[in-house]
Structure 1
Amino acid sequence: MTENERKIIEILESAGPKGVIQAEIYKTLGLSKSWVSEILSLMEKRGLIVRTKGPGKTLVVKLSKYADPASGRTIVVGLVPSIEYLPLPVMMKKLGDQGYRVEPSLRRSVVDVAIGFMKGEFHIAYLPIYTLAVMRQLGAEFKILGAVALGGASIVGHRTPDVDKIFTSMLSTMEVLAMAYLRTHGLDHTYTKYYRDPRDVVETISKDHRSVAVLWEPYSLIAEAEGLRRTPLTNIIGDYHCCLLIARGNMHPDIIELIANAHRESIETLGRNIEFASQIFSRIVGIEPHIIVKASNEYKYTYHIEKGLLRNIASHAKGPLTNIEILENLVSQNVINT
């Protein structure tokens, strides 16, 4: 990559999803229109950028990852490091075989993923159904491509009945499960604290014998390996939905259907691709493959959305995140091919 290409990418990265009018690139670089146009043409041929018609006679330039995959051939997916998303490498391969590059974008929390999606940083994202209910009320446009898995979270802490603090991630399945746990154990007055990174909270509760945390995998297994007690939430409330895969609502319908089909097939074939998936996923999230394989046993992978499970969790956890009318309307109106 040339120095001028690097500078152009820096300009476009700063601009984000909205892109930059081509004339602004000439001015910023101080180069001739013909020279910059030639550089952009070469970058476009290599799939680095996409140029689209802007206002009047202008051209808008943006990085391929911010363009509609129908033209950019790049699909950016937002996610947190959770073993629930283990089917992702299989989906990436299936889409790659059809000429699309899938670029994972790892964030610390589901709130960060939700914000990134609403800002247009991702084409698709894995997000909890309960987070999506909030996003829908805020006006976010998206299509649901299917569920991902059931279960996968645990209550982690010391072997003591005297709990005065519970840690959970914000606006997430973990928060809903924390509410359910407190309600079923008569701990309604326990203080709730939010964490952004599950790795940090494992260290915190190791030192505080009166606190517990709701953690997804692999972090609850990691906490157990460090001597903490782990109780799967399925032992308390039964099966429950966690995340769904969503896509931007304004993407081309054919691309949405293509991704939905690849998502469904990735879950159907995960069992015979577990070794491949764990190796690739390890590189994405920075977790050892053997831990990934072990943690995957805590999930039941499925792309089907069961309304009965939504009603079950709503009966255990009362609150705005589990309004059953909103949840059922969400999955009824926005599901693609499930």
Structure 2
Amino acid sequence: MDSRARVLNLLRSNPRGLRQADIARALGLSRSRVSEIVRELERAGLVRRVREGSIELVVPVDRGARGPRELSRQVRLGIVWSSEYPFIAVFAKLLRDRIGADLQVVVYSNGLDATWDLIGGRIDLVLSPLVTQALFYSLTSALRIIGGGAAGGASVFYNPRGVPGVTSSTRASTMDLCISRAFKELGYGESVRLYQARGSDIVHSIELGRAQLVAVWEPLATRLRMEGFREVATCLELGIVHCCTLAAPSDMEWEELKRLAMLYQEAINTFARNPEPWIEWYSARVGIEASAVRKALSSYVYVPYVDVEGAVKMLRDAGVSVPSPTVLREAVLEVAR
């Protein structure tokens, strides 16, 4: 679990508050790291500091006390750098034509940072791994999953000259699930998992022989194929039925959530029928060559809705127990199913 999530989880189990020194001791983190995390959670509106005499406590914030959030005329959508989301070009057009809103795309190197920024109010929507969103819903109830996305577009690769038993992925992500499934289905052993902040770092770990088994997404998967690394399975073959899904703040008005969900579903369906006109727009905003985006299209299955029971099975088969099936079902908006 991400260190920020661990701190927040500990505080929610101690609603009267804890000293930073107590947090550091309980979680085995340095005091400087705890101080950094508390500042970040404070900026996100998830904790506050209170004084009891000479003692300063960190206390979790009840988000239910906030008023409903309204959608602005400029919608900030966070995405992870990948070939996965060219359908957001259609979404941008529908937002502009139907509700007069401009879509601003904010590109992140990983889903954890993108999802934290949604919770902190720095973006309005996020396309990040379903498993990441479900984890943070279980900790904060601060988001709702309002749409599907794409399945596929990621694979597990093997380097026989890599360090035996060492794997690499991003933390609390689809790649994490994919690696876990590879052990169970393909019989690989694992001793150490190297968590990286960027997909390019995962690629470097297998190229340099620091890891034997890695999971990466497009266009990085194509790069490893071209370099001759053995593709042992696609994540879709390993039962990963959802990658990134669309989430919005849970304090957004219900009618706004519903309207966004319907426009988003229409965008995916429109794109799936004729993807070509939208590729250049997407390429320009994420910094991936249009040819690479185009080449990756065949590796994806575009799904506008969330298969909740399929997602429950996906997490269970990967050995993920948090969130529980009940919490995951609560996290997904009814209109998104």
Q: Which residue of 2 aligns with 1:77?
A: 77
Mapped to 2, the partners of 1:235 and 1:123 lie a distance apart of: 29
How far apart are 1:159 and its partner, in Å? 5.1
Q: Is 1:267 equivalent to 2:265 in the alignment? A: no
Q: Is 1:68 equivalent to 2:70 in the alignment? A: yes
Mapped to 1, the partners of 2:145 and 2:323 lie a distance apart of: 18
Tell which deviates more after alignment, 153-162 or 136-145. 153-162
Mapped to 1, the partners of 2:163 and 2:108 lie a distance apart of: 33
Give 5+ residue unaligned stretches, structure 1: 1-15, 19-66
Q: Is 1:281 equivalent to 2:298 in the alignment? A: no
Tell which deviates more after alignment, 143-152 or 108-117. 143-152
SS of 1:149's equivalent in the other structure is: strand
Give CA deviations for 1:243-289 in whole Å, capped at 9, x if unaligned.
Answer: 21011122233332232122111111113442222101111111111
Mapped to 2, the partners of 1:133 and 1:105 lie a distance apart of: 21
For the Cα contact (< 8 Å) 2:283–2:289, is it kept in 1?
A: yes
For the Cα contact (< 8 Å) 1:130–1:321, is it kept in 2?
A: no
Runs of 4 or more above 6 Å deviation? none
Cα distance change on mapping 1:134 and 1:222 into 2, 3 Å? same
Mapped to 1, the partners of 2:254 and 2:330 lie a distance apart of: 21
Amino acid at match of 1:335: E
Mapped to 2, the partners of 1:321 and 1:179 lie a distance apart of: 15
Cα distance change on mapping 1:315 and 1:112 into 2, 3 Å? closer
Q: Which residue of 2 aligns with 1:157?
A: 158
Amino acid at match of 2:226: A
How far apart are 1:233 and its partner, in Å? 2.7
Mapped to 2, the partners of 1:196 and 1:236 lie a distance apart of: 25
Amino acid at match of 2:83: I
Structure 1 segment 179-190 matched on structure 2, within 5 A: 179-190=180-191
Flag the structure with higher helix content.
Answer: 1
Mapped to 2, the partners of 1:204 and 1:119 lie a distance apart of: 31
For the Cα contact (< 8 Å) 1:83–1:218, is it kept in 2?
A: yes
Q: Which residue of 2 aligns with 1:112?
A: 113
Mapped to 1, the partners of 2:326 and 2:185 lie a distance apart of: 22
Tell me the TM-score normalised to structure 2 length: 0.73
Give 5+ residue unaligned stretches, structure 2: 1-42, 46-68
Q: Is 1:90 equivalent to 2:93 in the alignment? A: no
Q: Which residue of 1 aligns with 2:193?
A: 192
Structure 1 segment 4-23 matched on structure 2, within 5 A: none
SS of 1:138's equivalent in the other structure is: helix
Q: Which residue of 1 aligns with 2:252?
A: 251
Tell me the TM-score normalised to structure 1 length: 0.73
For the Cα contact (< 8 Å) 2:168–2:205, is it kept in 1?
A: no
Mapped to 1, the partners of 2:88 and 2:116 lie a distance apart of: 21
Mapped to 2, the partners of 1:237 and 1:312 lie a distance apart of: 12
For the Cα contact (< 8 Å) 1:131–1:321, is it kept in 2?
A: no
Mapped to 2, the partners of 1:209 and 1:249 lie a distance apart of: 41
For the Cα contact (< 8 Å) 1:166–1:192, is it kept in 2?
A: yes
How far apart are 1:337 and its partner, in Å? 4.5
For the Cα contact (< 8 Å) 2:166–2:190, is it kept in 1?
A: no
Give CA deviations for 1:182-229 in whole Å, capped at 9, x if unaligned.
Answer: 222333543111011111221231120752211112211122122222
Mapped to 2, the partners of 1:175 and 1:301 lie a distance apart of: 21
Mapped to 1, the partners of 2:90 and 2:218 lie a distance apart of: 19
Mapped to 2, the partners of 1:207 and 1:161 lie a distance apart of: 8
Cα distance change on mapping 1:290 and 1:232 into 2, 3 Å? farther
Structure 1 segment 104-253 matched on structure 2, within 5 A: 104-158=105-159, 163-208=164-209, 211-234=212-235, 236-238=237-239, 240-253=241-254
SS of 2:284's equivalent in the other structure is: helix
Q: Which has more radius of gyration? A: 1
Mapped to 1, the partners of 2:228 and 2:286 lie a distance apart of: 24
SS of 1:237's equivalent in the other structure is: coil
Give CA deviations for 1:106-157 in whole Å, capped at 9, x if unaligned.
Answer: 1111111011111111111112121122111211322322111222220023
Query: How many residue pairs get matched?
Result: 271
For the Cα contact (< 8 Å) 1:153–1:220, is it kept in 2?
A: yes
Q: Which residue of 2 aligns with 1:305?
A: 306
Q: Which residue of 2 aligns with 1:63?
A: none
For the Cα contact (< 8 Å) 1:237–1:316, is it kept in 2?
A: no
Identity, % of aligned pairs? 24
Mapped to 1, the partners of 2:80 and 2:240 lie a distance apart of: 21
